[in-house]
Amino acid sequence: MSTPEIIVKPLNKSDVDRVAIIEAASYGNHHWSKDSFYSEINNRVAKYYTATAPTEEIAGYIGTWHIVDEAHITTIAVHPDYRRQHIAECLIVKSLKDCYNKFIKYITLEVRVSNIPAIKLYEKYGFKSLGTRKGYYQDNNEDALIMWTENIFSDEYKELFGKNIEELEKKVVISCPKE
């Protein structure tokens, strides 16, 4: 059996319709609009990527803002039909590699306190909970964990990242066409 290939590439305008479908399937009534994604494509501090599943359909996306030496993961989602296939992990790896290339030391995000699979994935990549935002999510007033990495240029973090990539590459092939 061959290793599945996940293609990670920059989000472009022709991807927005599919991304909006994933967004709605993932976040229900309180999701970003297509206009929000179009705006992010033109945001000079934003980096957005899609991940294409082995079916060649866009299965997920991630967005980050790069501000000085910090990055903030603004959004990440995988269509319910493609979850648990390492797509979110491939997107996180791509974003972290971008951070290394831009000399960004710290990454932060918010995640629902009830989203245990996502929290475990973030913890795998060295994110730690440093507090909560009470009532952060509008749909149900759920709290968000605020998660941060340590300095990703530390020897300890680089070792963790390298080990995780090595493990991931046994399960999928990550392709990133030139930007």
132 beta partners: 145
Q: What is the pLDDT of residue 138?
A: 66
Number of other residues whose CB lies within 10 A of the CB of residue 108: 16
* The pLDDT value given to residue 30: 67
Q: What confidence tens digit (pLDDT) does each residue in 12-22 have?
A: 999 999 999 99
Write out the catalytic residue numbers. Answer: 110, 122
In the prediction, which pLDDT does 178 show?
65
CA nearest to 71, candidates 45, 32, 39: 45
Q: What are the DSSP E strand ranges found in the chain? A: 5-10, 46-52, 58-67, 70-78, 106-112, 128-133, 144-148, 173-175
DSSP tally for the chain: helices H, then strands E = 5, 8
pLDDT tens, per residue, the chain with 179 residues: 567 889 999 999 999 999 999 988 887 776 788 888 999 999 999 999 999 987 788 999 999 999 999 999 999 999 999 999 899 999 999 999 999 999 999 999 999 889 999 999 999 999 999 888 887 776 677 788 999 999 999 999 999 999 999 999 999 888 877 65
pLDDT (0 to 100) of residue 141: 74
Q: What is the pTM of this model?
A: 0.91
